[in-house]
Chains A and B, each alone.
Chain A
Amino acid sequence: MCGLLCKLAAWARKKSPWIFHLPAGGLCNGCDIEIVAALTPRYDVERFGILLAPSPKHADILVVAGQVTKHTKERLLRVYQQVPEPKAVVAVGSCAISGNVFGTENYPLAGTVDQFIPVDVYVPGCPPKPEAIILGIVEAIKKLEGETRKS
């Protein structure tokens, strides 16, 4: 509909997706540290155009680590709603996938990430290597690309 401008936006999104990093509560912060490690000069994801966005409103990809607690459930939903369309969600670590040792019937926990928001890519590991996280984000970019083509 918007022609050239939309194409430009899609190209920019593909070439430089901004990520928003959200620890969802029930985790040991090991995955957070690995996500931050993936942004350091050693791995330097900025050469792929991946940037850490300061606000979910600027982000294209939401990187969630950890299991959702009752306390953070509302915040997770709110952050997810603030990310503009098209968006992708990457769940990092065993806790985000299944709950790991914390289980699913623990009293402060509300459930896994995919029970509340649609997750596109899962990155297993406890914690995953930064390389795996980068590959996960690359997979999410592919998904974003497909979505823009559809619309």
Chain B
Amino acid sequence: MKVNILKEAAKYFVKPATVPFPAVQPHFPKKFRGPPRYDPETCIGCGACAHVCPSDAITVTTKDGKKILEVWFGKCTFCARCEEACPVDSIKLMEIYSTPSPNKFDFVSRVEHDMVKCRICGKYFATVKHVEWIIKNVREKMGETVSISELKNYLMTCPECRHKVENVPSFRKLLMRVLVKEVK
């Protein structure tokens, strides 16, 4: 520790302490947290990042069958909770310094997703990529216990319709099978 300090101090006898900033890129320490950015290819639009954001910098808006996730790092605390919460590591705090701008709404990274309609009531409720991701994961864990069509049937139904009396029996069969498999 003390050797490091001495080394740092000895450096200034050799070369100037000033960094020639605009000419060279600035130094970023380890685990530096810069402005968050979405990767639109891997993002599934689950909204976990918006759920954990302490300063409400990430907003989720649904409009005309599109789900838009938007992070405005003019309001961000750079705490990296979103990075921790993301199940697919899509949102990342980049190793860059944020460039100033005369418009405060320039500091935005956004990603747009298509949504799925509920097959019963026709309401938009989840993103296509999210449903695909769940199906992929369930198939990996459960194998052939659940067929894809059955799973799609379940996931294409919105939470309100799932709880309606006439729809419950068929879903219960599916869920019980999944539960039994998990217990084994």
Contact = CB atoms under 8 A, between A and B. Distances in A.
Interface of A: 41-44, 47, 90-91, 94, 97-101, 114, 119-126, 128-129, 131-132, 134-136, 139, 143
Interface of B: 17-19, 21, 26, 35, 54-55, 72-78, 97-104, 107
B104 A97 contact: yes
B102 A139 contact: yes
Contacts of B98: 123-125, 128, 132
A100 B107 contact: no
A122 B17 contact: no
Contacts of A143: 102
Given A124-B35, A136-B100, A139-B100, A43 B19 contact: yes
Among all A-B residue pairs, the 6 with the closest Cβ atoms: A136-B100, A97-B74, A129-B97, A98-B75, A101-B55, A123-B100
A136 B55 CA distance: 24
A91 B104 CA distance: 10
Contacts of B55: 94, 100-101
Nearest to A129: B97
A115 B146 CA distance: 57
Question: In the complex, which of the residues B74, B77, B101, B104 has the most CB atoms of chain A within 10 Å of its own CB atom?
Answer: B74
Label chain B's interface by main secondary structure.
loop
Contacts of B97: 125, 128-129, 131-132
A47 B18 contact: yes
Contact of A100 (B17, B75, B103): B75
Contacts of B17: 41-42
A56 to B, nearest CB: 21
B26 A131 contact: yes
Nearest to A93: B74
B19 A94 contact: no
Question: In the complex, which of the residues B77, B78, B100 has the most CB atoms of chain A within 10 Å of its own CB atom?
Answer: B100
B99 A122 contact: no
A122 B18 contact: no
A121 B102 contact: yes
Contacts of A119: 104
Given A41-B17, A98-B72, A131-B26, A126 B102 contact: no
Given A128-B97, A131-B26, A99 B19 contact: no
7 contacts: A94-B55, A97-B75, A100-B75, A121-B100, A124-B73, A126-B78, A131-B97
